[in-house]
Structures are given as C-alpha cells and as structure tokens.
C-alpha cells in the first residue's frame, strides 16, 4: 500500500507541468487556433523562472516572470496566425525553435548553478490525514495546489460563463460568432495569450520546483506530449487532469520497472509510445461519440469574406 502511495505521490509533480500546459492549449484550440509552439514557450518559461529566481531569490517572482514570458511568446504566434493569417503549423514550429535556441543562449550562465530558494512541500493541515488520498493529493508543493485550482477555474469558465460560450463559438464557427457581435480576434488573442501563460508556468514548474535546475533542452518533448494530452482530453479541462497524471505516472514508473531487467532505453520510449496509443484511443472515442475538434481549428478567419 505504501508502495502505491509513494508512486502516486510522485506522479502528481511529474504530471503537473503537463497539466498546466494542457489547460492552456485547450483554450487555444477551443478558440480555433493551433499553437504547436508549446515546447518553445515551456522552455522559455523554465529559463526565465530560473534566471529571475536566481537573481532575486524569490521563487514566486520567477514563476510570475515565466507566465509573462510565455504569454509574450504566444503573442508572436497570435500575431502570425490571427493578424497576418500565416500558416499556423509553421509558426508554431518556429516558436519551438526560437524558444529552444534562445533559452540555451540565455541559460548558458545558469547551467549547474544551484537555485538559491525553492518551493517546499506544504502539507495541508487536516486534509493530508485523509487515508490514502491525503498523503497523495495534499502533501505537495503550493504550485500543485494552484494547478488543482486552475483546473477547476478553467472548467468553470469554459462551460459556465459568457466568456466560455464566446470562446467556444469562435472556435466552432467564427462567422456565426462574428455576426453575433463577438470580437473574434480579441477572443483568439486572449486565448492564445492564456495558452502561453500556462505553458510558461509549466516550464517554471520544471526548472524551479521539480528539478530544480536549469538544463538545456530540459522540456525534452513535454511540449509535444501536452498537445497529445489536449486531444486526449477532448478539449475538456477536467479530462486533462487524468491525461497529465497518466503521463506523469509513466515517467515515475520507468525507474520502478528498471529492476525487472527491462532495458532503460526501451522504458524511455514508453511515454512516446503511450502518446500514440492514447491518441488512437481518443480518435476512437471521438468518432464513437461524434465529438470533433473545434471545427475551425487551424484555419485562419478572414472577416472580409463575410462582407
């Protein structure tokens, strides 16, 4: 039993950067924009959080900066895909390259530097004594609790507020939304910005809470897994939480499975193989339930065409 608790307890921090990123990308895609630059925004979030924390010894300031930097990078993509209406796939790829390159450039002097201050675990009084669930869910660091709250907030706003309705209608049909008087590009800009903020936070979690260290290219494909989780969650925040912890759990399990003599290289493939399998499952579910991706996903909206 203790063994299971230990694994699950380690799973949550491993899945948290993915969850943060996926929540944001769900909003982005709900608005009809595809941002493949999650990896680039995450790694920029990671280095900016690490750099600022090192300079100021204030972890929360570092985390805040990562959100701003992630959001700022996302605006580049928003400008490309909403204002200039360029190809969204290429713009996202470019963002990833820019992020990986620039973070390496900035991060050169932070390699091997110890973080002066880190977030400590903060067990929640009372809740942590709930059997089984308590030590798993409520003996974590503060940013994990923030991620719980954000999941709820993202769910609530998407399905229960006017902003959520507008966001979804823009993603489904910008023409209809436009004729209903919704400012399509404003909503899209906002969604893409939120996506960047969340990806930045995900990166910050990696560098100032989880590792805590700066390593060049430390996101190591997580940004792409975030995109897969977004699809797996069928663009619903409450489902993203399961997808993210599933992947977190696989990462933790790798080290638990090593003693059974399976090659660590083969174990390292697991998250990536699993991504493909999960996408296949999601595809089945999508076709069975007749759910579809936001129907204008990745297609620029030209207002002129309406007039």
In the region spanning residues 17 to 46, those forming contacts with other proteins, defined by CB under 8 A, are 36, 40
Placement of tokens 């307890």 in the chain: 9
- Does 90 sit near other proteins (CB under 8 A)? yes
Rounded Cα distance, 183 and 176, in Å? 11
Among 55, 130, 280, 291, which residue interacts with other proteins (rule: CB under 8 A)? Answer: 280
- Does 94 sit near other proteins (CB under 8 A)? yes
Stretches 142-150, 153-161, 163-171, 271-279: which one binds other proteins (CB under 8 A)?
271-279
CB of 170 to other proteins, least distance (A): 15
Could you tell me if 204 and 60 are in contact, meaning their C-beta atoms sit under 8 angstroms apart? Answer: no
Closest CA to 205 of 8, 13, 36: 13
Rounded Cα distance, 217 and 199, in Å? 15
Instruction: Rank residues 124 and 165 by Cβ distance to other proteins and give the closer one.
Output: 124
- Does 240 sit near other proteins (CB under 8 A)? no
Closest CA to 14 of 237, 287, 260, 222: 222
Find the angle CA(197)-CA(201)-CA(204) to the nearest 5 degrees: 140
Among 126, 131, 181, 261, which residue interacts with other proteins (rule: CB under 8 A)? Answer: 261
CB of 86 to other proteins, least distance (A): 5
- Does 246 sit near other proteins (CB under 8 A)? no
- Does 176 sit near other proteins (CB under 8 A)? no
Rounded Cα distance, 3 and 78, in Å? 45
Among 60, 122, 157, 224, which residue interacts with other proteins (rule: CB under 8 A)? Answer: 224
Closest CA to 15 of 287, 303, 271, 293: 271
Among 27, 167, 251, 294, which residue interacts with other proteins (rule: CB under 8 A)? Answer: 251
- Does 53 sit near other proteins (CB under 8 A)? no
CB of 231 to other proteins, least distance (A): 7
Q: How many residues bind other proteins (CB under 8 A)?
A: 77
Could you tell me if 206 and 42 are in contact, meaning their C-beta atoms sit under 8 angstroms apart? Answer: yes
Instruction: Rank residues 197 and 218 by Cβ distance to other proteins and give the closer one.
Output: 218
Rounded Cα distance, 161 and 139, in Å? 32
The footprint of other proteins on residues 97-156 (CB under 8 A) is: 97-106, 108-114
**What six digits make up the tokens of 220?**
């190591």
């Amino acid at each position: 039993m203790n063994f299971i608790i230990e694994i699950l307890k380690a799973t949550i921090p491993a899945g948290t950067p993915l969850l943060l990123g996926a929540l944001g990308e769900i909003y982005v895609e709900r608005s009809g924009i595809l941002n493949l630059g999650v990896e680039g925004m995450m790694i920029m979030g990671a280095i900016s959080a690490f750099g600022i924390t090192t300079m100021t010894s204030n972890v929360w300031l570092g985390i805040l900066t990562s959100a701003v930097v992630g959001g700022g990078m996302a605006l580049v993509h928003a400008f490309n895909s909403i204002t200039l209406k360029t190809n969204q796939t290429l713009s996202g790829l470019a963002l990833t390259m820019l992020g990986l390159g620039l973070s390496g450039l900035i991060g050169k002097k932070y390699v091997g530097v110890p973080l002066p201050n880190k977030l400590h675990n903060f067990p929640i009084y009372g809740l942590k004594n709930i059997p089984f669930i308590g030590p798993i869910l409520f003996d974590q660091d503060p940013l994990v609790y923030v991620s719980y709250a954000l999941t709820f907030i993202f769910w609530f706003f998407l399905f229960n507020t006017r902003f959520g309705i507008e966001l979804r209608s823009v993603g489904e049909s910008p023409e209809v939304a436009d004729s209903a008087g919704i400012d399509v590009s404003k909503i899209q800009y906002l969604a893409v910005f939120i996506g960047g903020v969340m990806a930045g936070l995900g990166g910050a979690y990696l560098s100032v809470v989880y590792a805590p260290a700066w390593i060049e290219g430390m996101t190591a494909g997580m940004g792409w897994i975030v995109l897969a989780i977004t699809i797996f969650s069928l663009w619903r925040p409450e489902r993203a939480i399961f997808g993210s912890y599933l992947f977190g759990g696989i990462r933790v399990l790798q080290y638990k499975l090593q003693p059974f003599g399976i090659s660590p290289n083969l174990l390292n493939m697991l998250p990536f193989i699993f991504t493909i399998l999960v996408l296949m499952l999601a595809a089945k579910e999508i076709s069975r339930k007749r759910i579809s991706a936001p129907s204008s996903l990745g297609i620029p909206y030209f207002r002129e065409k309406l007039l």
